Amino acid sequence: PGRRVGFYKVRGEIGYGTFSRVKMAFHALTKDKVALKILDKTRLDFQAQRLLSREISSMESLQHPNVVRLYEVVETPSRLYLVLEYAGGGDLHNRICNDGKFSDNASKITFAQILSAIKYMHSINIIHRDLKAENVLFTSSGCVKVADFGFSTRVSNRSDALDTFCGSPPYAAPELFRDECYLGPPVDVWAMGVLLFFMVTGTMPFRAETMGKLRRCIIEGAYTIPPWVPGPCQRLIKGILKPVPAERYAIDQMMGCDWLLPTQTPQYPPSPPAPPSPALRRP
């Protein structure tokens, strides 16, 4: 408490990752809240530096109401600070673990915002590759903010083949387990299917005691949708969780599905503009 980083007064810790701690901070002049992702440079090995550089590069390009904004990068001799838009409403994983599954309406509103964020990323050739409930954050007014671009990649066009296994196994598409080249957009679409299943049922579609069994369930597309899930939502899940990527729904098909069409996303207060600070300083 009391410490300052650039224009920001640092307050309490709000989370931590493998290589980072995340603290809340206030802009000294505007009092806008931000999240400060703090990285100790001496702890970053070559791979972590590569992921961080991708995270910064992707986030610099992204400006969407449902994507966490990167305002600035501050560097000191020992640390890097990513100044991020603050999402103080917790993450989707904790919400469902604490309060249980979402109602049909809350699922629609949340899913429509995730879909909008991913459609936007893909339109500028950025693939997230680590979509999971822990990376779907909420603002205090309930607006979705997709976060954590550490595994993201930029493709020159959407038919570029990728070959690295990224992300969390329960959300990984079958083609990732088959050790073959894969296309980026269908991998994010699959993870959205897992997220949708998790929101409407409160459980994961693919669960197993060992990684081998999980891999088999996912490759075979072996999951069961509880019968009480509304028919239009079941059809959407089935259209997304298709083991063959070419048969999987594309984003536009998801946007036009019966389940989502009547969805009106609430009007959230606009994100605060980027705090007045010098131009982005890259490490």
Task: Take residue 158 and report the two structure tokens written for it.
Answer: 């959407």
Structure tokens that stand for 157 in this block? 């066009």
Backbone phi and psi for residue 27, each to the nearest 5 degrees, phi listed first: -70, 130
Nearer to ligand ATP, 204 or 225 (CB): 204
- CB-nearer residue toward ligand ATP: 84 or 118: 84
Among residues 40, 91, 99, 130, which one is catalytic?
A: 130
Per DSSP, the three-state class of 183 is strand
- Among the listed ranges 100-108, 144-152, 222-230, 234-242, the one in contact with ligand ATP (CB under 6 A) is 144-152
Write down the least CB distance from residue 108 to ligand ATP, Å.
Answer: 24
Q: State how far the Cα of 279 lies from the Cα of 52, in Å rounded to an integer.
A: 19
Is residue 191 a contact residue for ligand ATP (CB under 6 A)?
A: no
Please state, in angstroms and rounded to a whole number, the distance separating the CA atoms of residues 128 and 9: 31
* Residue in 197, 159, 191 with CA at minimum distance from that of residue 176: 191
Can 130 be counted among the known catalytic residues? yes
Q: Which of residues 45-74 bind ligand ATP (CB under 6 A)?
A: 68
Applying CB under 6 A, which part among 104-112, 147-155, 200-208, 239-247 lies near ligand ATP?
147-155
Compute the CA torsion angle 219, 222, 228, 234 (nearest 10 deg). Answer: 40
**Two tokens at 2?**
């009391």
User: Residue 84, interface with ligand ATP (CB under 6 A)?
Assistant: yes
Q: If binding is defined by CB under 6 A, does position 176 make contact with ligand ATP? A: no
Rounded to whole angstroms, the Cα distance separating 51 from 43 reads 13
Residue nearer to ligand ATP on the CB measure, 69 or 242: 69
Sequence-distant (6+) residues with CB within 8 A of 59 are 68, 69, 70, 82, 149
Per CB under 6 A, the list member of 91, 172, 199, 241 interacting with ligand ATP is: 91
Q: Is 137 in the site for ligand ATP (CB under 6 A)?
A: yes
- Residues with active-site annotation: 130
Residues that bind ligand ATP (CB under 6 A): 14-20, 22, 35, 37, 68, 84-87, 91, 134, 137, 147-148, 150
